[in-house]
Amino acid sequence: MTEVRRATADQAAFRDELIARGLFLESGVPGLYGRGATFEDIRTRFDGLITNAAAVDEPEAMRFPPLLPRKQLEASGYLHSFPHLAGSVFAFEGSEEDALEQEERASRHEDWSAHQRMTELCLVPAACYPVYPVVAARGPLPAPGIVVDAGGAWVFRHEPSEDPARLQMFHQREIVCLGAPDSVLAWRDRWSERGLALLRGLGLDAARDRAADPFFGRGGRMLAANQRKQELKFELLVQIAGDEPTAVTSFNYHQEHFAGKYGLKLADGDTAHTACLGFGQERIVLALLRTHGLDPASWPDEVRRQLWDR
């Protein structure tokens, strides 16, 4: 069984306060919560801010379900880099007798997986993953490339935690750039500045820093060190609860990784490069609640104007 990451006293107190105020709805599973009406109102209004900020790029909108064909996940390399975070979908296959045995085991909360089989579906680990094969299937990219708005999709990471800012299922507002290396990297860096200004404009004390993904195993530590050295990933950090600030936004330059996996080509035949940005919407809402208070009616006028008076 996966170990549950324990919360600090500050994180636990904040989580309990969120539940008591109906902002989080308890499920009994660490890292899995419903959202109350106030929480969702803030989240969707912040989502609107991102839509407005992204309009300058004239992105193509794509929306996908929180499920991914298993073959796409296998082709992406995710299981090599992040096997500890992946989630796959299983379903019942068996006879009536098998179904009765499964129900009996389940009624006692025992292991009832014996008659479950892996399906062709996995849970989406990042909102950009469905974009690459869809764009690749069209053929060569138009010059100088394209920007895709993948929306505020549900994504899954199997890392149960008592920290309210570390969820197993959450919304990731993701935008992807596909094109020539120089233009893709410049787009990533522009958004790094744009995202920092956006969060600070909401009264959040955000800071930018080089970062690395949580790669798996000893080899993963080398990958993470190389990622930091090449400045392939930046994060925006905000204090939510606990001793350390929390990453709420990331800006990632993939170089040829996804383009090579899916055959993404430029008009001249060269392999495209890709970059993405992701806003962790629940974390940003939590940062706003922690910074300005749990009642949005009492938030600073400037913050309210941006979220409610657009």
CATH number, domain of 216, equals 3.30.930.10
Whole-number average pLDDT of the chain: 95
196 inside domain: yes
109 inside domain: no
Domains contained in the chain, number:
1
pLDDT at 22: 98
110 inside domain: no
98 inside domain: no
Q: What is the CA radius of gyration of the chain?
A: 21
pLDDT at 310: 66
CA 160 to chain centre: 15
Q: What's the average model confidence in pLDDT over 155-164?
A: 96
- Domain range for 174 is 9-67+125-308
Q: pLDDT, tens digit, for every residue of 51-98? A: 999 999 999 999 999 999 999 999 999 999 999 999 999 999 999 999
Q: pLDDT, tens digit, for every residue of 242-268? A: 999 999 999 999 999 999 999 999 999
Instruction: Look at residues 6, 17, 31, 4 and name the one whose alpha carbon lies nearest to residue 283.
Output: 31
Query: Does 1 score more than 70 pLDDT?
Result: no
Query: Does 225 score more than 90 pLDDT?
Result: no
Q: What are residue 156's DSSP bridge partners?
A: 169
155 inside domain: yes
Q: What are residue 117's DSSP bridge partners?
A: 91
91 inside domain: no
State the pTM of this model.
0.95
54 inside domain: yes
| pLDDT > 70 fraction of the chain, expressed in percent and rounded | 99
Cite the DSSP H helix spans in the chain: 9-20, 37-54, 70-76, 78-81, 96-107, 131-136, 181-201, 217-229, 257-262, 281-292, 301-308
Contact predicate 66/153, CB 8 Å: yes
Better-predicted residue by pLDDT, 227 or 305 = 305
Whole-angstrom Cα distance, residue 153 to residue 171?
A: 5
90 inside domain: no
